[in-house]
Structure 1
Amino acid sequence: MVFPVTKGIHHLGLTVSRLEESAAFFKSMLGWHEVKRRDDYPAIFVSDGTVMLTLWATKEAPATPFDKNRNVGLHHVAFTVPDEATLNSVYERLQQAGVPIEFAPEPLVGGPAKHLICYDPSGIRVEILWPGP
């Protein structure tokens, strides 16, 4: 039997077209903190204490938006929350901030898990998931 040699994700690098706004999304909407910056690239590293994202600024403008139905690449990134109340609270915060929402909290494949999908300012699809009791 072959056993995995990896132990999870250390970080995920995302290319974003609106670096400051994307970092602010993770900090203000999800309560993440900024770990560091690299002005020479430029990049901003944000974390929830478990996962770290490296947000890299695009080099060319205008950036080409990702199409999940046509391109190979990141379809979405999903983060878990501890309970249904937190999922609903995040949804309300996203709504109040005018964040584009693909769908509100709904059962995931019949439940009891629930999830929502929204978009960060650069158009990255972000799923927030409560895995259920």
Structure 2
Amino acid sequence: MTDSYKIPTHTRIGHIHLKVANLERSLEFYRDLLGFEVTMLYGNQAAFISAGGYHHHIGLNTWHSKGSPRASKDGVGLYHTAILYPTRKDLALIYDRLRKSHYPLTGASDHGVSEALYLDDPDGNGIELYWDRPKELWPTNANGSLNMFTNVLDLDNLLKEIDDN
């Protein structure tokens, strides 16, 4: 299609729903480690979790995946779920929590517009934890287009957000 329809400006992704192999193991990650709140359990088959009282940002279920192997890195599917933190200090606090829990990162990047931590959940689903810099600080090129990049994130500098505030 080549018509000129554009999605409304204020449209947002409301939630994601993930197939998981073990609901309790997933809750230990999303609830206990990342700090999401459980808003509803659907027996022992599904859970709905949230940040800040929303009905749910993430659904977890075992309806078609109970006991299944981890997600394949080489197959089609979700690359990662991106979870936006409100401030750099919030990102530093979750990084410190992950570090102290010895939870492995798969990457840490400065993209110019944002800083991001990458990890996998227990089922191999990619997770990006990030914060956006203020829009007026986003890097642009001469014609005003975004000039995003991927540099290594200075994790020691990120941790200074906790010490400095």
Which TM bucket (shorter chain)?
Answer: 0.7 to 0.9
The list of structure 1 runs, each at least 4 consecutive aligned residues, that deviate by more than 4 angstroms after superposition, is: none
Q: How does 1:62-77 map to 2 (within 5 A)?
A: 63-68=68-73, 70-77=74-81
Larger Rg: 2
User: Match for 1:96: what amino acid?
Assistant: K
What is the root-mean-square deviation in Å for CA atoms of aligned residues?
2.2
Quote how far apart the aligned CAs of 1:121 are: 2.1
Matched with 1:107 is 110
**RCO higher in 1 or 2 (8 Å CA, sep ≥ 6)?**
1
User: Match for 2:58: what amino acid?
Assistant: L
Number of residue equivalences? 127
Quote how far apart the aligned CAs of 1:75 are: 0.7
Quote how far apart the aligned CAs of 1:112 are: 4.7
Matched with 2:16 is 12
Provide TM-score, normalisation by structure 1. Answer: 0.81
- Long gaps (5+) in structure 1: none
User: Do the aligned residues in 2 keep the contact of 1:117 with 1:126 (CA within 8 Å)?
Assistant: yes
User: Match for 2:125: what amino acid?
Assistant: I
Output the CA distance in 1 between the equivalents of 2:19 and 2:104.
19
* Cα shift readout 1:6-32 (whole Å, capped 9, x = no counterpart): 932332110112211212322233321
Q: Choose between structure 1 and 2: higher strand proportion.
A: 1
Matched, 1:117 2:118: yes
Quote how far apart the aligned CAs of 1:65 are: 2.1
Provide TM-score, normalisation by structure 2. Answer: 0.67
Quote how far apart the aligned CAs of 1:115 are: 0.3
Q: Percent identity?
A: 28
Matched, 1:45 2:78: no
Specify whether residues 93 and 73 from structure 1 end up closer, same or farther in structure 2 by C-alpha distance, changes over 3 A only.
same
Match of 2:37 among 33, 39, 47: 33
User: Do the aligned residues in 2 keep the contact of 1:44 with 1:54 (CA within 8 Å)?
Assistant: yes
Deviates more, 1:49-58 or 1:76-85: 49-58
Specify whether residues 27 and 14 from structure 1 end up closer, same or farther in structure 2 by C-alpha distance, changes over 3 A only.
same
User: Do the aligned residues in 2 keep the contact of 1:77 with 1:126 (CA within 8 Å)?
Assistant: yes
Matched with 1:87 is 91
Secondary structure of the 2:124 match is coil
